[in-house]
Amino acid sequence: MVENIQQVAQEIEAAPLTNAAELEQFRIAYIGRKGRIADLFNNLKEVAPEQRREVGQQLNTLKNRAQERFDQAQEQLASAADTAGDTGFDFTLPTIPNTLGTRHPLSLVRQEIVRIFERIGFNVAEGPEMEDDWHNFSALNFPENHPAREMQDTFFLSEDKEKLLRTHTSTVQVRLMENNQPPLRSIMPGRVYRNEAISARAHMVFHQVEGLYVNKGVSFKDLKETLYYFAKEMFGQDTQIRFRPSFFPFTEPSAEIDITCFICKGEGCNICKGTGWVEIGGSGMVDPAVLQSSGIDPEVYSGFAFGMGIERITMLKYQIKDLRLFTENDVRFLRQFEGVI
């Protein structure tokens, strides 16, 4: 044991410590928890009891000497670097300004949508993204054999299909009507999920904003005036809007909402499929069965609902031709919105 201590002591004195790499090797070999000195301390239990005290003192002296050599060499290297004045950095270079991020274009548009509807009395309601069959389908008048209930359209989280990722934010409308009595006037922005092929016009994860107004005497005229106001505030006073008859299980009568395609100015492109119009959502009067299933008397109250994709609105507003750009996190794309308020 004593011979091993003497050998390590000689190695410590002879070890070269002229640069940072040699200093680190020395630390690992002798001072570290798995180094030579640590091994000697572990073997101390093998020394005869009458010699253990003396050998332990020698080990402590060895440990202190190794630490002393390390500290001296470290101080000398630091002093030499200060004397040379070479820090590896050119202080004559201009300063680098702080690079601040910016809000995502979808967040910008969502915020603007909220502001527009707040000005006419709508508040914001939110709900969970993981839903059940009742709030996503049954309460909204979806029949049992509706295609949206199939695996190819919906992400189900359980084999019994009772847990799923919501396919629309209409689920928040149901929860709002279940827990509150009219008058109700809210918009519901949020993320939704559908098992769709990803393309320039569709994605499996996207954002919707839906609206609901329930009160006495609400008519389709109220719905049209509300959406006329929104379209002109969002896209400009020259924006044209049209309603096309359609069908949704939860509204009757129902209509698709189209506005002028701002990307091609009505001439036709891949986004508007050559028609000059782009569908931004659906709308209609809330079906009496939906009101009744949520605990609201359809003989007393009526209401309208609408829903639109935030991605589609953003594409029109900023003339973006590919929906996939929103989720690719390309900094070159995102920096284009640094000046947007």
Binding residues for Mg(2+): 252
Tokens of 59: 């080990």
Query: How far apart are alpha carbons 257 and 307 in whole angstroms?
Result: 9
Alpha-carbon gap, residue 248 to 62, rounded angstroms: 85
Q: Name the residue among 202, 209, 205, 207 with its Cα closest to residue 186.
A: 209
* 243 Cβ neighbours under 8 A, 6+ residues apart: 224, 255, 256, 257, 258, 283
Report cis status (omega within 30 of 0) of the bond before 183: yes
Contact predicate 283/308, CB 8 Å:
no
Peptide bond into 189 cis (omega under 30): no
Q: Extract the annotated binding site.
A: 252
* Distance (Å, whole) CA 190 – CA 310: 9
257, 245 in Cβ contact below 8 A? no
Distance separating alpha carbons of residues 86 and 33, to the nearest angstrom: 33
Angle value at C-alpha 92, between 90 and 97, nearest 5 degrees: 90
Q: What gap in Å lies between CA 184 and CA 307, rounded to an integer?
A: 16
The answer to whether 143 and 205 have CB atoms below 8 angstroms apart is no
Closest CA to 161 of 132, 138, 191, 130: 132
